Amino acid sequence: MLVFTLKRLVSLFFSLVAASVVVFFVIEIIPGDPAALMMGINASPEAVEELRQQLGLNLPPWQRYANWVLGLLQWDFGVSYTYKTAVSDLINDRIWVSLPLTVYALTLSTLIAFPVGIIAAARRNSATDVGIMGATQLGIAVPNFWFAMILVLIFAVSLRWFSAGGFAGWDEGFLAGMKSLTLPAIALALPQASILARVMRSSLLDTLGEDYIRTARAKGLSRSQTLWRHALRNGLIPVLTIIGLQFSFLLAGAIIIENVFFLPGLGRLVFQGITQRDLIVVKSVVMLLVFAVIVVTFIVDIAYGIADPRLREGR
């Protein structure tokens, strides 16, 4: 287990280095002069030069990269060009919208997908199963931002149960904050829950076809007993991978959903960064999101190794 963890750690390290090089390269090397890009075409040469000085663009690239990474390690991302405040402050502020939203959506998606997937597998080929599979097929096809708009139409415009957008803030109390995240989380969770339910079902069906399930049935366990005691545990492994993968989809999905509901999260921050050409904000937030995805993948890998010793040797 130790060797396995160490190997994964080394690979985690190289992934992070590679990802940071890519982000740095795309943002700072390819466009030619980032300062000119950020100021737009009407900027005076003096103003561009001043920004170049301020951003340290006159240093050689490897030194800029080293400075940037050293800053990242100390949670110092530089100063936003448009907000005139430290990017780390912006991120500290906004992460408390994006992170709860992602976790909320992931929880919802798992809570919906598990029972639905298990029921579909337990009643394979019944009308219930066909209905569930049809519904999930539809759920996968629905773009989450459109689903969000439909939710707004029904629950905010017609029924007036929720507000159509904005964030109450955690100062208003936990429930008020959660309430403003509810529609966005549902919109994010639906397509993911559909995928997860399908994976849950097919993984359970695979497990139910194994020899040891037949043995369990032969020794006298009922169908539901074999399902709950034997199949479910083993069928969960592929589901865990998908949950890990979904984290990255949810983070990316949050970028769109936050814009639908005008939530002041990281997604909205990075989007505003693009429209205002604030490359420092874009670079930092993108790096942070990629970092989160890589670390979650690492955690899933380790969890795997703990859950299933066979996987430790396989790599």
Partner 1 sequence: MMDLPEQRLREAGFFSLAVKTPGFVIGVLLSGFFVFVAVLSLYWTPFDVTVFDVPNRLRCPPFQAWVGGLDFPSAQSSWFGSWQCSAVPQYQLGTDHFGRDVLSMIMVGARTSIAVAIVAVGIGIVLGVPLGLAAAAQQGSFFYEFIMRTNDLVFAFPALLIAILITAVYGPSAFNAIIAIGIFNIPVFARLARGAALSLWTREFILAARVAGKGKFRISFEHILPNIMNLLIVQGTIQFSLGILAEAGLSYLGIGVQPPTPSWGRMLAEAQTMIFVAPHLAILPGMAIVLSVLGLNLLGDGLRDILDPKLQRDRS
Residue from 90, 227, 231, 282 in contact with partner 1 (CB under 8 A) = 282
Round to whole Å and give the CA distance between 91 and 72: 12
Nearer Cβ to partner 1 (33/308): 33
- Closest separation between CB of residue 141 and partner 1, Å? 4
Nearer Cβ to partner 1 (232/260): 260
Region for 265 from its dihedrals, namely left if φ exceeds 0, alpha if ψ lies in -120 to 50, beta otherwise: beta
SS3 86: strand
Inter-axis angle of helices 232-261 and 174-208, nearest 10 = 140
- Would you count residue 286 as binding partner 1 (CB under 8 A)? yes
Nearer Cβ to partner 1 (58/137): 137
- Would you count residue 245 as binding partner 1 (CB under 8 A)? yes
Residue 268 tokens read as: 């909205």
Round to whole Å and give the CA distance between 77 and 69: 9
Radius of gyration of the chain from its Cα atoms, rounded to whole angstroms = 24
Considering only residues 21 to 80 of the shown chain, the ones binding partner 1 according to CB under 8 A are 22-23, 26-27, 30-31, 37
- Would you count residue 234 as binding partner 1 (CB under 8 A)? no
Considering only residues 113 to 132 of the shown chain, the ones binding partner 1 according to CB under 8 A are none
Please tell me what DSSP assigns to residue 166: -
Nearer Cβ to partner 1 (170/262): 262
Nearer Cβ to partner 1 (88/246): 246
- Would you count residue 297 as binding partner 1 (CB under 8 A)? yes
Max distance between CA atoms of the chain, in angstroms, equals: 84
SS3 287: helix
CA 86 to chain centre: 24
From the list 89-97, 144-152, 174-182, 219-227, the region that binds partner 1 by CB under 8 A is 144-152
- Closest separation between CB of residue 121 and partner 1, Å? 15
Residue 66 tokens read as: 């080293």
Residue found by looking up tokens 């959903």 in the block: 257
- Would you count residue 190 as binding partner 1 (CB under 8 A)? no
Task: Provide the β-strand partners of residue 86.
Answer: 79
- Would you count residue 251 as binding partner 1 (CB under 8 A)? yes
Letter for the amino acid at 110?
Answer: T
Region for 180 from its dihedrals, namely left if φ exceeds 0, alpha if ψ lies in -120 to 50, beta otherwise: alpha
- Would you count residue 260 as binding partner 1 (CB under 8 A)? yes
- Contact residues for partner 1, defined by CB under 8 A: 14-15, 18-19, 22-23, 26-27, 30-31, 37, 137-138, 140-143, 145-146, 149-150, 152-153, 157-158, 164, 195, 202, 242, 245, 248-249, 251-253, 255-256, 259-260, 270-271, 273-275, 277, 279, 282, 286, 289-290, 293-294, 297
